């Protein structure tokens, strides 16, 4: 009968799995069996890892030596199998492949569901993986600073944070857990994230926020430098017509679709009802509703559409636009302009915006300094 031995590599986070007959393991003259053999192997692991000083350059050697001891030494059977590995070390902490894959999981699902080409999907997953590893490194550095500052968060504070999340989303406990499960998370994961967010907020307050002051002069300067933000908000009520173009269409087929759309535009300009034309010709799911898209601020529109509607008055129709969805026409149904804000009315919002901007910049600079002083190693 075989015994399976799972040995955690202390300080590194790898797990080495081997299968060996207990009777095949080397036994000293004093003799020992069963659990005693496992304990001897554990002791060997501790000695090896201690000698490596828990540094990335020392990871491969202890694992290689242990693999040789378990699989290549005389009198042993089976082979060592590494089922997790270190992807980065941050001072005395480590980040494992399991940690990275767990963070990547919800993003990977969304990317896969988007049905990109295999090349684009691979590139996006690679980029997200790198960004998340950077974030995990920053998180480890932040947690280390939290420990140095002896900042604590109690269970009741985390409980209140969870309750606020439930209230904001109108969730019961069961609904929250179901929503988390769909994202591959558990309630414990959410509690840990909430706890870390509270700790980070307190650390920011301790290290950065209490040193930031936004003056009345700062607020007035911003107000005068950004008049477009306070002269009122413009919103366009839009309709559209879409004629799709197959990715396999040749130049002649594409030109024929464009000419068809030019004809539709001419009929709209001649006075035909745009909603009726949308119902008849649009290949959008909103065509049956006359192509009504709702209201949009200029910053919510793509640069192409924003430029096309900017010079139109109510009832105006754009030129034929070539977009990623096909050829499109847009009609400006209505333009809504809200009233502007005085300096006094805008002061609170400006103050918060300036404050948050300074916090973000100072936090980024603080993290950069931490990274420069830290011992960070990454294994691709």
pLDDT tens figures, 265-317: 999 999 999 999 999 999 988 999 999 999 999 989 999 999 999 999 999 99
What residues are paired with 6 via a beta bridge?
Answer: 17
Q: Which H or E run includes 333?
A: strand 326-337
| Domain-embedded: residue 356 | no
pLDDT of residue 137: 94
| Domain-embedded: residue 321 | yes
On whether both 79 and 102 belong to a single domain, the answer is: no
Q: Spell out the SS3 assignment of 258-272.
A: HHHHHHHHHHHHCCC
| Domain-embedded: residue 156 | yes
| Domain-embedded: residue 40 | yes
pLDDT tens figures, 152-190: 889 999 999 999 999 988 899 999 999 998 888 899 999
Give 67's pLDDT tier (boundaries 50, 70, 90): very low
Identify which has the larger pLDDT, 55 or 283.
283
Q: How is 277-299 classified by DSSP, letter by letter?
A: HHHHH--STTGGGTTEEEEE-GG
On whether both 125 and 168 belong to a single domain, the answer is: yes
| Domain-embedded: residue 370 | no
pLDDT tens figures, 75-95: 444 444 556 899 999 999 999
Would you say residue 64 has pLDDT above 80?
no
Is 0.75 topped by the overall pTM? no
Domain count, the chain: 3
On whether both 12 and 77 belong to a single domain, the answer is: yes
Residue 243 carries which DSSP code? E
pLDDT tens figures, 318-353: 999 998 889 999 999 999 988 778 899 899 999 999
Would you say residue 40 has pLDDT above 80?
no
| Domain-embedded: residue 352 | no
Domain region containing 79: 3-84
| Domain-embedded: residue 268 | yes
On whether both 77 and 128 belong to a single domain, the answer is: no
| Domain-embedded: residue 367 | no
Is residue 29 classed exposed, middle or buried when 0-12, 13-18 and 19+ CB atoms within 10 A define those classes?
Answer: exposed
On whether both 106 and 79 belong to a single domain, the answer is: no
Question: d(Cα 39, Cα 146) in Å, to the nearest integer?
Answer: 35
Instruction: Name 181's Cβ contacts closer than 8 Å, sequence gap at least 6.
Output: none
Q: Where are the alpha helices (DSSP H) in the chain?
A: 35-52, 60-67, 97-113, 118-149, 155-169, 173-182, 187-207, 216-225, 251-269, 274-281, 303-310, 343-373
């Amino acid at each position: 009968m075989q015994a399976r031995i799972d040995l955690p590599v202390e300080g590194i986070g790898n797990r080495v799995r081997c299968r060996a007959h207990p009777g095949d393991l080397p036994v000293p003259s004093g003799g020992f069996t069963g659990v005693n053999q496992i304990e001897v192997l554990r002791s060997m692991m501790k000695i090896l890892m201690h000698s490596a000083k828990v540094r990335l350059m020392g990871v491969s050697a202890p694992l290689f030596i242990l693999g040789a001891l378990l699989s290549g030494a005389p009198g042993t059977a089976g082979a060592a199998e590494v089922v997790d590995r270190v992807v980065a070390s941050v001072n005395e902490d480590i980040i494992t492949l399991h940690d990275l894959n767990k963070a990547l999981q919800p993003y990977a699902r969304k990317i896969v569901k988007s049905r990109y080409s295999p090349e684009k999907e691979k590139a996006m997953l690679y980029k997200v993986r790198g960004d998340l590893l950077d974030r995990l490194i920053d998180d480890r550095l932040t947690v280390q600073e939290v420990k140095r500052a002896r900042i604590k968060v109690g269970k009741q504070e985390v409980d209140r944070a969870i309750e606020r999340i439930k209230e904001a989303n109108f969730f019961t406990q069961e609904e929250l857990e179901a929503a988390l499960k769909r994202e591959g998370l558990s309630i414990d994961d959410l509690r840990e994230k909430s706890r870390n967010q509270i700790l980070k907020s307190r650390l920011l307050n301790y290290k950065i926020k209490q040193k930031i002051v936004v003056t009345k002069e700062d607020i007035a300067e911003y107000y005068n430098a950004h008049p477009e933000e306070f002269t009122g908000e413009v919103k366009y009520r839009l309709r559209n017509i879409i004629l799709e173009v197959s990715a396999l269409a040749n130049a002649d087929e594409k030109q024929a679709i464009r000419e068809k759309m030019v004809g539709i535009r001419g009929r709209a300009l001649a006075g035909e009802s745009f909603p009726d034309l949308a119902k008849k010709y649009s290949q959008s799911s909103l065509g049956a509703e006359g192509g009504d898209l709702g209201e949009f601020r200029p910053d919510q529109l793509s640069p192409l559409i924003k430029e096309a509607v900017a010079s139109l008055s109510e009832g105006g129709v754009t030129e034929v636009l070539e977009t990623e969805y096909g050829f499109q026409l847009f009609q400006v149904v209505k333009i809504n302009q809200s009233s502007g804000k005085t300096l006094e009315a805008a002061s609170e919002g400006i103050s918060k915006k300036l404050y948050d901007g300074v916090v973000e910049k100072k936090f980024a600079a603080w993290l950069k300094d931490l990274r420069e002083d830290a011992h960070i190693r990454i294994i691709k």
